[in-house]
């Protein structure tokens, strides 16, 4: 392909993407494909001759699109918002076109320095002090792994890095809410703590970590001769967006010399609104935190913001320095390869830069307030409707509910089947998409509001669909 052919196909694809985004509301939100539909539509063997991109573009509509669940659809209420703004799409195009590898400052100075700037912008936007320094990760999963690796080395005085996992005097223990994201458990396993040394603390009626049980668990482990090492505080749990008692956990961490990591993957974006920052009171006393602009903010996947208060500790834990990576500027610049697990780095910061230059802080704040208001509207409908039950506070943009008809009250197996059927009817109907989930043994429906194009009309339409499905 030469430059002219690239231009021709590029213009065609930009038009295709724009047409797709403009026509989203006419499409079923959840893919109606069955297992194997897309795979069997594609050839079994690779093309022997090239020059067939026109055929691939034709196959996008014919073979690929039926297998797409549309995360940017205005009636997408499942999982979490994952908004890929137009500006972010353009930034991805630029990053791919440049094709730079930003593993060190020298390999692409702009990739490093743009990241420094936009991560400091983001720090200011969520009200964090200048004590924090940020780096772009791919997802919160790798950021949490990085945090627990840092916690491990702090707790072992770098013995684990130096002499391996069997070098410690006693096993290190990690503590987190039993409503925390599955990535916390995975990170504890990958960092070598082991399932036997991960304590998932039960939660209260608001689904936040019970501080009294956390204190008791730490005291018990100390009696057993174990070494408490790290706390993970959730600000916006995956299931309900519950908020753990962060300030109290910070007190406990300081008292026992523990690493405190804040997982705000979903709700961290809300802190762009000053009125929401009370939800993470105490965050300045944490050691690390993560939130995902690729969720509720508008920055295209993947883009996770990881902040630390001691960058030198992070670098010491994560750094290897072979001769072929060394440069004369190393003492003057950031080499972000030493700030996370992977060596290779895409120019992800362009996505945040383009996005903020397009919408500005005020534009983002207006959209977030719209989403919060829509969540409160749905909460009010659920609270006032007979036979409907809200099962969690609505601190942010997620509403957890279930239908409890009088005939099924007290019969959890029947209620499970009933609410799963409601979810199936709505999701397979194509007009909206929400997530069924289980919360403390109860089958629930999660409504996560926050797609860029979701307005009150789509939330009202979802509520009408829920009422209709409940009558069927």
Instruction: Find tokens 């009171």 and name the residue.
Output: 281
- Flag whether pLDDT at 167 surpasses 70: no
Residue 165 confidence (pLDDT)? 62
> What are 328-346's pLDDT values in tens digits?
676 777 888 888 888 788 8
> What are 374-386's pLDDT values in tens digits?
999 999 999 999 9
Residue 81: inside a domain: no
> What are 393-445's pLDDT values in tens digits?
999 999 999 999 999 999 999 999 999 999 999 999 999 999 999 999 999 99
- Flag whether pLDDT at 102 surpasses 90: no
Q: Which residues contact 98 (CB under 8 A, 6 or more apart)?
A: 347
- Flag whether pLDDT at 160 surpasses 70: no
Q: In whole angstroms, what is the distance from residue 334 CA to residue 252 CA?
A: 33
Residue 354: inside a domain: no
**Confidence band for 323, pLDDT divided at 50, 70 and 90:** low
Residue at a domain's end among 294, 322, 346: 346
Residue 89: inside a domain: no
Residue 324 confidence (pLDDT)? 60
> Span 113-120, mean pLDDT?
95
Residue at a domain's end among 304, 319, 346: 346
Instruction: Tell me: do 332 and 183 sit in the same domain.
Output: yes
Burial class (CB in 10 A: 0-12, 13-18, 19+), 445: buried
Residue 94: inside a domain: no
Residue 241 confidence (pLDDT)? 94
- Flag whether pLDDT at 166 surpasses 60: no
Lowest mean pLDDT among 70-79, 168-177, 392-401, 425-434: 168-177
Instruction: Tell me: do 266 and 339 sit in the same domain.
Output: yes
Residue 466 confidence (pLDDT)? 97
- Flag whether pLDDT at 168 surpasses 70: no
What percent of the chain clears pLDDT 70, i.e. is strictly above it? 97
Instruction: Tell me: do 7 and 51 sit in the same domain.
Output: yes
CATH code, 398? 3.90.1150.170
> What are 265-290's pLDDT values in tens digits?
999 999 999 999 999 999 999 999 99
Residue at a domain's end among 289, 314, 346: 346
Instruction: Tell me: do 426 and 287 sit in the same domain.
Output: no
> Span 189-195, mean pLDDT?
87
Residue 316 vs residue 167, higher pLDDT: 316
Please state the domain count of the chain: 3
> What are 214-228's pLDDT values in tens digits?
999 999 999 999 999
Task: Quote the Cα angle for 470-471-472, to 5°.
Answer: 95
Q: Are 111 and 347 in contact (CB under 8 A)?
A: yes
Instruction: Tell me: do 158 and 257 sit in the same domain.
Output: yes
What does pLDDT average to over the chain?
92
Q: In whole angstroms, what is the distance from residue 80 CA to residue 180 CA?
A: 15
**DSSP annotation string for 200-224:** EE-B-TTS-B-HHHHHHHHHHHHHT
Cα dihedral 328, 333, 338, 344, rounded to 10, equals: -80
Q: Are 274 and 127 in contact (CB under 8 A)?
A: yes
Residue 161 confidence (pLDDT)? 65
Instruction: Tell me: do 219 and 109 sit in the same domain.
Output: yes
Residue 243 vs residue 162, higher pLDDT: 243
Instruction: Tell me: do 216 and 244 sit in the same domain.
Output: yes
CATH code, 53? 1.20.1340.10
Lowest mean pLDDT among 68-72, 167-171, 173-177, 331-335: 167-171
DSSP code, position 300: P
CATH code, 174? 3.40.640.10
Instruction: Tell me: do 263 and 373 sit in the same domain.
Output: no
Instruction: Tell me: do 336 and 402 sit in the same domain.
Output: no
Domain limits for position 50: 3-68
**Confidence band for 162, pLDDT divided at 50, 70 and 90:** low
Residue 10: inside a domain: yes
Instruction: Tell me: do 124 and 217 sit in the same domain.
Output: yes
Residue 374: inside a domain: yes
Residue 34: inside a domain: yes
Q: What is the pTM of this model?
A: 0.92
**Confidence band for 163, pLDDT divided at 50, 70 and 90:** low
Residue 83: inside a domain: no
Instruction: Tell me: do 161 and 50 sit in the same domain.
Output: no
Instruction: Tell me: do 163 and 58 sit in the same domain.
Output: no
> Span 37-53, mean pLDDT?
89
What percent of the chain clears pLDDT 90, i.e. is strictly above it? 74
Q: In whole angstroms, what is the distance from residue 40 CA to residue 36 CA?
A: 6
């Amino acid at each position: 392909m030469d430059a002219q052919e690239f231009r021709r196909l590029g213009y065609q694809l930009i038009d295709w993407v724009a047409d797709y985004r403009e026509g989203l509301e006419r499409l079923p939100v959840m893919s109606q494909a069955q297992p194997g539909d897309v795979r069997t539509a594609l050839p079994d063997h690779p093309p022997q001759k090239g020059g067939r991109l026109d055929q691939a573009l034709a196959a996008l509509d014919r073979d690929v699109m039926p297998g797409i669940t549309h995360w940017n659809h205005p009636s997408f209420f499942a999982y979490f918002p994952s908004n890929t703004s137009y500006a972010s799409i353009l930034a991805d195009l630029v990053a791919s076109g440049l094709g730079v590898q930003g593993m060190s400052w020298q390999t692409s100075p702009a990739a490093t320095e743009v990241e420094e700037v936009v991560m400091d912008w983001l720090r200011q936007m969520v009200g964090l002090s200048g004590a924090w320094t940020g780096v772009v990760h791919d997802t919160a999963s790798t950021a949490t792994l990085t945090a627990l690796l840092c916690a491990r080395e702090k707790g072992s005085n770098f013995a684990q890095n130096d002499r391996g996992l069997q070098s410690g005097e006693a096993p290190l223990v990690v503590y987190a809410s039993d409503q925390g994201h599955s990535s916390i458990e995975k990170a504890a396993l990958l960092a070598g703590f082991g399932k036997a040394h991960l304590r998932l603390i039960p939660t209260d009626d608001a689904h936040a970590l019970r501080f009294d049980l956390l204190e008791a668990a730490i005291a018990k482990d100390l009696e057993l001769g174990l070494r408490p090492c790290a706390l993970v505080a959730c600000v916006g749990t995956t299931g309900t967006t519950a908020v753990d008692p962060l300030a109290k956990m910070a007190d406990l961490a300081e008292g026992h010399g523990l690493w405190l990591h804040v997982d705000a993957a979903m709700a961290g974006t809300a802190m762009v609104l000053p009125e929401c920052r009370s939800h993470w009171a105490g965050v300045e006393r944490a050691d690390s935190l993560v939130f995902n602009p690729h969720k509720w903010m508008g920055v295209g996947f993947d883009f996770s913001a990881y902040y630390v208060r001691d960058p030198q500790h992070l670098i010491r834990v994560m750094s290897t320095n072979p001769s072929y990576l060394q440069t004369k500027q190393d003492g003057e610049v950031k080499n972000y390869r030493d700030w996370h697990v992977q060596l290779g780095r895409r120019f992800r910061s362009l996505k945040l830069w383009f996005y903020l230059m397009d919408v500005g802080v005020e534009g983002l704040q207006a959209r977030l307030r719209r989403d919060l208001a829509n969540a409160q509207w749905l909460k009010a409908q659920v609270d006032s409707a007979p036979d409907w039950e809200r099962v969690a506070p609505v601190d942010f943009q997620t509403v957890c509910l279930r239908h409890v008809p009088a005939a099924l009250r007290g019969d959890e197996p029947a209620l499970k089947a009933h609410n799963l059927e409601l979810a199936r009817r709505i999701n397979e109907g194509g007009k909206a998409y929400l997530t069924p989930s289980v919360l403390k043994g109860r089958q629930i429906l999660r409504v996560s509001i926050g797609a860029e194009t979701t307005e009150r009309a789509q939330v009202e339409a979802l509520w009408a669909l829920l009422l209709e499905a409940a009558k069927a």
